[in-house]
């Protein structure tokens, strides 16, 4: 029963038994016995690799001792061989009996051996009962039922709660959960690492030669050295020949020696590149001190040695600006004195390293060119005004306003000197000078080509003047039109705002307002006009918050735009109501202009910003261009070319390409094209007005320097 129980122990110690068995056969011839002994020892040594060395050693000594004893006894008492053997046997038997259980425990490594197996089903493969409820049968033939298993969820929860759960192992053979002790876990970990299971086992202990028979009386073997020990091995040479042949045939190839790249270290180099490779919290190397140069040599070339003047000039410098080191010459290295600042320098260096915070700067490597918006080249957007070829001189004061005739043959200009001049575009000839007598605010040419009349605002008056152009028939019509009977019966509403009078000196009508009139705009058909005065007074009265600054008629529909300082209001003239309010976001609007298609509006402001409104898009500016450093005085659209311009008190005019696409999905394209310079500043004012030629891509600019310039393409 016990034997069976300890089957594994028996297994382990079987070698022992065998040996013991052999010791029993003492009656066999001695030599053979010796041989057997040695063989068995050798075998034993081979077999005990898994055992602990010390045990093995111990056992070996024991064996040896017993062997010696037996030998001695054998030698000494030849006659009583049997007896001794028997006694020995007996003694051994006893010993083994007593020690077997003891040793079995001592020798075994597995925990199974320590605790007696509680499994009573016998040595039966477990898979026989894999799907059954019992694990086998006990000695009396009754079923041994399996322990009831917890379901997975419960066991998982239990595992979670139990901090020791990771140590628990289900022992299938014994059908129980075993909790591993710390030592056992350590042992498992060591095994996993491929080490010897016990920490105290020295795998590489020094070899102890137990069989020292140099000085022994009886060596283990007395046989003479065999001959084969002295002649070259036949098999070896055959093998060599075989290899040689294989090499010659090319069957065996040697690995070509790898050319190892020489490893260089940049001794003085920056360590940062090496540090960058690591993607963890990087080590930031300290900045390297400056390397010594030629001037630090004990015998530098002459050009490094400062002259007397230079030395004197150092004295005049501030302490911190002086060079730290002044090169000197010595005849030999021996004569170089000790460096007096060595300690100070290294101290400062240490302070630098210690106190200076080191931060890695992330540098973004972006080509600044790529950040620019993709705009078409200026060459592709020709024609646009580029150079000034013509100047119109004659005014004596700042030219405030200009207006072109519809065909582009003439234009009119009004100046602060109280005159309106009519010019011929192509030659620069001043055709007519109209003396108004008051500083002109605004001039506007009637958009109808057959009605050459000019609206001029000066002071509180708006004058509608005959330009004297056109043939006789046209002149007759104009004269008819411009004739008003002076004592008109005052209309109940209109008379309160303006009074229509015949101008006495000049040929025209005078519209008298109560306040200063700042601007005049004609309707596209040339039969209505709007006037903006300091106090709210329009042809069609609209309610406005704030003073009106500029106004413009829609080029195709009956819509009217009025801008106050902040906002632009859009009115429907037929229904006489507000349609829309555009929020500029500007401090002070100075001028507005409408695209000939009527859906886009540009607004210039006193702070130098230009807003482009796409009225289909929103009531906020589509784009705001900040280009002028000073006030924008006027903005203008070209009637047919996709151009617009702004002029400013900084004496420049900017020309932009402003393409509006008929495709509603495509936003307007705005490209700045050219800065037109040439005007000079006078009294802080620069360019006062700009207008495009109605048919050519030319721009007229009126300057405060009393010159009008024409910029051509």
Q: Which residues pair with 402 in a beta bridge?
A: 413
Residue (190 or 695) nearer to another protein, CB: 695
CB atoms near residue 25 (< 10 Å): 12
Please, what is the minimum distance in Å from the beta carbon of residue 426 to another protein?
A: 7
Please, what is the minimum distance in Å from the beta carbon of residue 419 to another protein?
A: 19
Q: Give the residue among 568, 596, 580, 593 at the shortest CA–CA distance from 660.
A: 596
Distance from C-alpha of 287 to C-alpha of 472, rounded to nearest angstrom: 91
Which residue's entry shows tokens 């509680």?
118
Residue (408 or 459) nearer to another protein, CB: 408
Q: Give the residue among 668, 670, 564, 578 at the shortest CA–CA distance from 627.
A: 670
CB atoms near residue 423 (< 10 Å): 25
Please, what is the minimum distance in Å from the beta carbon of residue 712 to another protein?
A: 5
Please, what is the minimum distance in Å from the beta carbon of residue 597 to another protein?
A: 20
Please, what is the minimum distance in Å from the beta carbon of residue 530 to another protein?
A: 28
Q: Give the residue among 654, 709, 655, 700 at the shortest CA–CA distance from 680.
A: 709
Please, what is the minimum distance in Å from the beta carbon of residue 408 to another protein?
A: 8
Please, what is the minimum distance in Å from the beta carbon of residue 456 to another protein?
A: 23
Residue (335 or 471) nearer to another protein, CB: 471
Distance from C-alpha of 708 to C-alpha of 430, rounded to nearest angstrom: 11
Residue (358 or 429) nearer to another protein, CB: 429
Please, what is the minimum distance in Å from the beta carbon of residue 471 to another protein?
A: 5
Residue (590 or 701) nearer to another protein, CB: 701
Distance from C-alpha of 359 to C-alpha of 30, rounded to nearest angstrom: 86
Residue (408 or 598) nearer to another protein, CB: 408
Handedness of CA 118, 120, 125, 126 (dihedral sign): negative
Distance from C-alpha of 654 to C-alpha of 676, rounded to nearest angstrom: 6
Q: Is residue 415 within 8 Å of 430, Cβ to Cβ? A: no
Residue (386 or 420) nearer to another protein, CB: 386
Q: Give the residue among 580, 550, 581, 543 at the shortest CA–CA distance from 565.
A: 550
Please, what is the minimum distance in Å from the beta carbon of residue 696 to another protein?
A: 6
Please, what is the minimum distance in Å from the beta carbon of residue 699 to another protein?
A: 13
**E strand or H helix that includes residue 676:** strand 669-676
Query: 465-470: which pairs have CB atoms within 8 A and are 24 or more residues apart?
Result: 465/420, 465/434, 465/503, 465/506, 465/507, 465/508, 466/506, 466/507, 466/508, 467/410, 467/412, 467/422, 467/432, 468/432, 468/507, 469/405, 469/410, 469/422, 469/431
Write the DSSP symbol of residue 695.
S
**E strand or H helix that includes residue 699:** strand 699-703
Q: Give the residue among 392, 414, 412 at the shortest CA–CA distance from 403.
A: 412
Residue (279 or 471) nearer to another protein, CB: 471
Residue (94 or 426) nearer to another protein, CB: 426
Distance from C-alpha of 234 to C-alpha of 240, rounded to nearest angstrom: 10
Residue (613 or 692) nearer to another protein, CB: 692
Write the DSSP symbol of residue 466.
E
Please, what is the minimum distance in Å from the beta carbon of residue 676 to another protein?
A: 16
Residue (522 or 698) nearer to another protein, CB: 698
Residue (516 or 712) nearer to another protein, CB: 712
Name every residue whose Cβ is closer than 8 Å to that of residue 61 and which is 6 or more positions away in sequence: 210
Q: Which residues pair with 701 in a beta bridge?
A: 690, 709
Residue (630 or 695) nearer to another protein, CB: 695
Which residue's entry shows tokens 């886009």?
600
Which residue's entry shows tokens 């260096």?
349
Distance from C-alpha of 596 to C-alpha of 604, rounded to nearest angstrom: 17
Characterise 194 by phi-psi region: left (phi > 0), alpha (psi -120 to 50), beta (else). left
Please, what is the minimum distance in Å from the beta carbon of residue 389 to another protein?
A: 5
Residue (427 or 666) nearer to another protein, CB: 427
Distance from C-alpha of 464 to C-alpha of 531, rounded to nearest angstrom: 12
Residue (297 or 409) nearer to another protein, CB: 409
Q: Cα-flanking dihedrals φ and ψ of residue 546, to 5°?
A: 95, 170
Residue (49 or 471) nearer to another protein, CB: 471
Residue (136 or 694) nearer to another protein, CB: 694
Please, what is the minimum distance in Å from the beta carbon of residue 504 to another protein?
A: 25
Residue numbers of the site for another protein (CB under 8 A)? 382-383, 389-390, 407-409, 426-429, 471, 695-696, 698, 712-713
Instruction: Convert 378-413 to b/e letters by CB count within 10 Å (16 or more is b).
Output: eeebeebbbebebebebbebbbbbbbbbbebbbbbb
Please, what is the minimum distance in Å from the beta carbon of residue 422 to another protein?
A: 12
Distance from C-alpha of 82 to C-alpha of 84, rounded to nearest angstrom: 5
Please, what is the minimum distance in Å from the beta carbon of residue 547 to another protein?
A: 40
Distance from C-alpha of 483 to C-alpha of 478, rounded to nearest angstrom: 9
Please, what is the minimum distance in Å from the beta carbon of residue 391 to another protein?
A: 10
Please, what is the minimum distance in Å from the beta carbon of residue 711 to another protein?
A: 11
Three-state helix/strand/coil letters over 603-668: EEECCCEEEEEECCCCCCCCEEEECCCCCEEEEEECCCCCEEEEEECCCCEEEEEEECCCCCCCCC
């Amino acid at each position: 029963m016990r034997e069976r129980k300890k089957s594994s122990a028996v297994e382990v110690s079987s070698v022992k038994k065998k040996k013991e068995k052999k010791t029993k056969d003492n009656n066999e011839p001695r030599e053979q016995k010796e041989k057997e002994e040695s063989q068995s020892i050798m075998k034993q040594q081979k077999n005990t690799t898994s055992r602990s060395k010390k045990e093995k050693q111990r056992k070996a000594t024991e064996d040896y001792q017993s062997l010696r004893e037996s030998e001695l006894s054998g030698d000494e008492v030849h006659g009583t061989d049997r007896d001794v053997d028997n006694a020995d046997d007996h003694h051994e038997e006893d010993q083994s009996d007593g020690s077997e259980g003891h040793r079995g425990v001592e020798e075994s490594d597995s925990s199974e051996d320590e605790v007696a197996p509680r499994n009573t089903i016998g040595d039966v493969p477990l898979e026989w009962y894999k799907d059954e409820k019992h694990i086998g049968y006990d000695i009396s033939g009754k079923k041994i039922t399996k322990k009831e298993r917890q379901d997975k969820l419960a066991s998982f929860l239990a595992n979670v709660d139990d901090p020791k759960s990771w140590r628990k192992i289900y022992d299938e053979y014994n059908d129980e959960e075993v909790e591993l002790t710390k030592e056992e876990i350590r042992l498992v970990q060591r095994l996993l690492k491929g080490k010897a299971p016990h920490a105290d086992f020295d795998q590489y202990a020094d070899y102890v030669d137990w069989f020292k028979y140099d000085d022994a009386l009886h060596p283990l073997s007395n046989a003479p050295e065999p001959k084969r020990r002295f002649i070259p091995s036949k098999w070896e040479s055959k093998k060599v020949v075989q290899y040689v042949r294989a090499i010659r045939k090319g069957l065996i190839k040697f690995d070509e020696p790898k050319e190892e790249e020489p490893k260089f270290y940049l001794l003085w180099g920056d360590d940062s590149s090496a540090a960058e490779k690591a993607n963890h919290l990087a080590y930031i190397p300290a900045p390297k001190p400056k390397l010594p140069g030629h001037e630090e040599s004990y015998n530098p070339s002459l050009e490094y040695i400062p002259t007397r003047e230079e030395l004197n000039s150092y004295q005049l410098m501030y302490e911190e600006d002086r060079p730290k080191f002044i090169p000197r010459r010595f005849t030999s290295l021996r004569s170089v004195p000790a460096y007096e600042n060595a300690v100070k320098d290294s101290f400062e260096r240490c302070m630098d390293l210690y106190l200076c915070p080191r931060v890695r700067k992330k540098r973004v490597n972006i080509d600044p060119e790529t950040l620019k918006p993709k705009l078409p080249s200026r060459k592709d957007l020709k024609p646009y005004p580029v150079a000034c070829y013509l100047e119109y001189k004659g005014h004596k004061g700042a030219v405030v306003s200009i207006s072109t005739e519809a065909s582009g043959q003439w234009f009119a200009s009004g100046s602060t000197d109280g005159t309106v001049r009519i010019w011929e575009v192509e030659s620069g000839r001043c055709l007519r000078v109209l003396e108004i007598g008051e500083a002109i605010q605004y001039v506007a040419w009637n958009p109808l080509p057959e009605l050459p009349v000019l609206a001029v605002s000066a002071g509180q008056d708006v004058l509608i003047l005959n330009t004297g152009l056109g043939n006789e028939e046209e002149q007759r019509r104009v004269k008819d039109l411009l004739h008003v009977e002076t004592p008109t019966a005052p209309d109940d509403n209109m008379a309160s705002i303006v009074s229509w009078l015949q101008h006495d000196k000049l040929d025209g009508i005078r519209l008298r307002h109560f306040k200063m009139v700042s601007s005049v705009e004609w309707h596209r058909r040339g039969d209505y006009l709007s006037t903006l005065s300091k106090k709210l007074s329009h042809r069609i009265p609209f309610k406005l918050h704030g003073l009106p600054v500029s106004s413009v008629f829609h080029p195709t529909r009956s819509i009217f735009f009025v801008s106050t300082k902040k906002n632009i209001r859009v009115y429907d003239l037929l229904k006489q109501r507000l349609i829309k309010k555009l929020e500029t976001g500007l401090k002070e609007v100075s001028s507005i202009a409408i695209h000939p298609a009527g859906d886009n509006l540009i607004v210039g402001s006193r702070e130098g910003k230009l807003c482009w409104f796409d009225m289909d898009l929103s009531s906020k500016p589509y784009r705001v261009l900040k280009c002028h450093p000073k006030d924008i005085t006027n903005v203008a659209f070209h009637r047919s070319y996709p151009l617009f311009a702004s002029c400013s008190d900084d004496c420049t005019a900017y020309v932009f390409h402003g393409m509006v696409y008929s495709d509603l999905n495509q936003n307007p394209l705005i490209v700045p094209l050219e800065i037109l310079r040439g005007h000079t500043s006078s009294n802080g004012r620069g360019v006062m007005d700009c207008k495009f030629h109605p048919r050519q891509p030319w721009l007229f600019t009126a300057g405060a320097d009393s010159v009008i310039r024409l910029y051509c393409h």
